[in-house]
Structure 1
Amino acid sequence: MTLADRIALFSTLDYVALALLFVCWLGIGWRIEHPGKKHLSTSVLMADYRRAWMNEMVTREPRIFDAQVLASLREGTAFFASTSVIAIGGTLALIGNAEKLGGVASEITLMDHPAIVWELKLMVVTLLLTNAFLKFVWSNRLFGYCSVLIASVPNDPGDPEAYPRARQAAEINVTLARSFNRGLRSIYFALACAAWLAGPVAFIAATLTTLVVIWRREFASHSRKILLNA
């Protein structure tokens, strides 16, 4: 089967749905990380609290509390990285049994497609899950960097190196959180992409629903109001 034949297997609506997925995924990510000054996202607000945390850490004795908080947050990255690997393995297994999956999906959509169609759809899901895995792994690595930086902050607040190193730890802390959030968004849209198996209309609906859910959590949630009122 040539490339042109494979392209012809998908309708125009399929390509529109796929383009919408990537526009929404990249678009909401950019908006969350670069919001307007008058309408900050929850992630940006939390970044300020992370910087305040590292600033307070300088004068806290002992720093066991900070180490425990950092360790508990790091467990989240390890959990989601492991979950992503399992999900990738499951998706690859489905690709290996695309004909059986196609039989089930055909009963839902009432449309009969060759196995290559289901395989390509699942490959997009795998792509998003792989991106999530890489983001979580990098976030986990940055937790290690942040821990080392915290350990290097002098115990004496009067030391000229204390607050500069604390600011370095804060920026690494913000960066690791950004990477973690990017991984989460990849998982969200991977789940939306799974709806493509039910057809492009279901795919578009799932993508828009995911976009609305993410937007609400970042710009219109109760937790955001609490952060603003602090």
Structure 2
Amino acid sequence: MTILDGVALTLFFICWLGYGPLLAVLAKRSGSINDDMLVVRRVWMTAMAHREIRLVDSQLMGHTINSGGFFASTNMLLIAAVASILFGGEQAIRGIADVGAETVSMKLLEAKLALVLVCLARGLLDFIWSIRQMNYALALIGAAPELHVEADRVALGEAAAGLLNPALSAFSQGVRGYYFALAAGAWLFGPLWLAGGVIAAFCLLVWRQAASPAARAVRSARRLLEPHLPGR
């Protein structure tokens, strides 16, 4: 591994591990989609607790679980593809050179593939945990009785939001893994590709969270919905 590889790899881990803390800072200063959606989902679950018929809520949850299952299945296919190359012997790994990968030692090539595999595996674990929590939230919605005391309705909504928000936060982390896996894959073509890839992925993620049209729309929705939260 060259010095340039080491610098690019260090930059990769700084961006990968530092994205979460940076997002928390952005949420406090100007807001982010993830932070604003916490409020939106709390309002949703509060409204669910006040509804007599919760068919729409169950359908929306079912759609969300299906989305999580799709991403998890795709993630497993990608893991299988990368693992088949990584553990397929020297001939399989050397075949990567046919697509224009940088000519490096066998050990370094294995390290590059392992980095992609780690990113995908981390994402898969996030998707699995997300789906489990969404199933818990769906069970809570299905088991919710018809409540007539306002305090009980509020408590039920907060409990449901306490399951749904971490579930979809884990889902977002799983999707984020795709971005960094793609950046890690760029390392196959050289350290400059890795550095450029991770900077591009990092900037794209930050822009989408804080400055994209979707972020502005969700922020506007939060301002409208937040006064409807209990205690506001």
**TM-score (normalizing by structure 1):** 0.89
Residues 5-154 of structure 1: pairs in structure 2 closer than 5 A: 10-95=1-86, 96-102=88-94, 104-105=96-97, 108=100, 112-154=103-145
Change (3 A) 1:107 1:140: closer
Q: Which amino acid aligns with 2:12?
A: L
- Residue 229 (1) aligns with residue 220 (2): yes
CA distance in 1, matches of 2:209, 2:27: 13
Residues 23-43 of structure 1 deviation map (CA, whole Å, 9 limit, x = unaligned): 111211222245343311111
Q: Which amino acid aligns with 1:30?
A: P
Structure 1 stretches of 4+ with a deviation exceeding 4 A read none
Is the CA contact (8 Å cut-off) linking 1:105 and 1:198 kept in structure 2?
no
Superposed displacement of residue 98, structure 1: 4.5
Q: Which residue, out of 147, 155, 171, partners 2:162?
A: 171
CA distance in 2, matches of 1:20, 1:190: 14
Is the CA contact (8 Å cut-off) linking 1:58 and 1:162 kept in structure 2?
yes
Q: Aligned with 2:145: secondary structure?
A: coil
Is the CA contact (8 Å cut-off) linking 1:196 and 1:202 kept in structure 2?
yes
CA distance in 1, matches of 2:14, 2:174: 16
Q: Which amino acid aligns with 1:102?
A: R
Change (3 A) 1:89 1:195: same
CA distance in 1, matches of 2:190, 2:98: 10
- 1:4 alignment partner in structure 2: none
Superposed displacement of residue 204, structure 1: 0.4
Is the CA contact (8 Å cut-off) linking 1:108 and 1:198 kept in structure 2?
yes
CA distance in 1, matches of 2:172, 2:99: 36
Identity over the aligned pairs, expressed in percent? 30
Determine which structure has greater relative contact order: mean sequence separation of CA pairs < 8 Å that are 6+ residues apart, divided by chain length: 2
CA distance in 1, matches of 2:25, 2:148: 33
Residues 10-59 of structure 1 deviation map (CA, whole Å, 9 limit, x = unaligned): 01111111111111112112222453433111111011100000001112
- 2:192 alignment partner in structure 1: 201
- Residue 161 (1) aligns with residue 149 (2): no
Q: Is 144-153 or 117-126 further displaced after alignment?
A: 144-153
Residues 82-131 of structure 1 deviation map (CA, whole Å, 9 limit, x = unaligned): 1111101100111125545435438736x532322211110111011000
Q: Which amino acid aligns with 2:144?
A: V
Structure 1: gaps of 5 or more residues:
1-9
Q: Aligned with 2:147: secondary structure?
A: coil
CA RMSD of aligned residues (A): 1.9
Structure 2: gaps of 5 or more residues:
222-232
